[in-house]
Amino acid sequence: MKNSDMNYRPWDSNQITREYFDSLLLEMRHIDGLIPSTKLELYGEEFDTPIMMAALSHLDNVRENGMVEMARGAKAANAVNWAGMGDEDEIAAITSTGARTINIIKPYADHNYILKRIEHAENCGVMAVGMDVDHSFGSNGKYDIVLGEEMEPKSLSQLKEYIQSTKLPFIIKGVLSEQDAYKALEAGAKGIVVSHHHGIMDYAVPPLLILPKIAKVIDGQIPIFVDCGVMSGMDVFKALALGADAVSAGRVIMDPLKKNGSEGVKNQIIKMTEELAGVMARTCSKDINHIDSSLIWHKKKWF
C-alpha cells in the first residue's frame, strides 16, 4: 500500500494489523507430509477446529437473533462460541443452543454487577467466563461509557476476586503487552486473548507482532487466543505458528450470518478450517500443536 493511496491511514490499527498479516511468508515442506488434524482440545473438551467465534454482541442489526444464530452455527461446526456484552436473557438463549460458549463480561464500574453476571453465566452452563480489560477507558482519557454503562480499569486484586468467585476458567481479553501477560498469570487467569479490540487505540501493535514475546511469558501455562483481523485459514495458521492455541474470527463471519444465518456461520467456519488444513498439509504440520514457527519468514526483512 502506498502512502499516496487516498485510503491509507497510517494510524489505523486494523490496517496496520492487516499489513502485518500480509508481511508474513511461509516455507513449504512436503517430504514426510500427511493429512493434518485441526482438532482443538480446550478445557477438557474437544472441537473440530481452532477457529472460534469472536466475543461479539448486539448482532440483531446484522440478522434477527444474530447472537443465537451465530451460536447455532458454531455448534454445527463443533467450534467454540464466544459472547460479549448482552443481557442475561440473551446469554441464556445462546447457551440453550448447546454451543460451548465463553462469556466475556465488560469491566463495569459496578463491582457487584460483575459478580452477578459471572454467577449468571455459570448458572447458564458456559464453559468459561472472562473480561475485556481493554474497554476501561475512552479515547478522551476518562472512564469508558458503553451503551450508557460506565466502565473502569480493574486492579490485580479485583481480577483475582473475580477469578476466585467462579469454578470456571477465567480469561483476560485485551492483553497486548508482556506486562499484562505477567499480571494475568499472577491473577490466576486460565487464558488470555491477545487483542487490540478492533483498533480501540490508534497505532496499536499488531497482535501477531507481539504474540511471540507474550507466548514466551506464558510458556504454555495457559491457552493463548488471538483476535483482530482474522480473515482466512492462512491468517489462522500464521497465528498458531507464532504462539496462539486458537483464534477468534469476527467480521469475516458477519456477511455469511447476514445472508444465511447459522448455516452461513457454519459454512464459513468449515471453509476457513479447510483452508487451514490445506496450509498445514503443505508445511508438514500434522496437527495444530505441531506448527513450527520456523516456517514463518518476514517479507520486509528479505525484500
Active site members: 197
Return the exposure string of 83-121: e unless at least 16 CB atoms fall within 10 Å of the residue's CB, then b. Answer: bbbbeeebbebbbebebbbbbbbbbbbeeeebeebbebb
Sequence letter at residue 270? I
- Distance CA(63)–CA(186), nearest Å, equals 40
Provide the grid cell at 265. 456461520
Beta-strand (E) ranges in the chain? 24-26, 40-42, 45-47, 51-53, 81-83, 101-105, 128-132, 145-146, 149-150, 170-175, 191-194, 224-226, 246-249, 296-298
Asked if residues 250 and 214 have their Cβ atoms less than 8 Å apart, the reply is: no
Asked if residues 286 and 38 have their Cβ atoms less than 8 Å apart, the reply is: no
Which residues does residue 296 pair with via DSSP β-bridges, in sequence order? 26
H, E, C per residue of 239-299: HHHCCCCEEEECHHHHHHHHHHHHHHHHHHHHHHHHHHHHHHHCECCCECCCCCHHHEEEH
- Distance CA(191)–CA(56), nearest Å, equals 18
Asked if residues 301 and 110 have their Cβ atoms less than 8 Å apart, the reply is: no
SS3 assignment, position 22 = helix
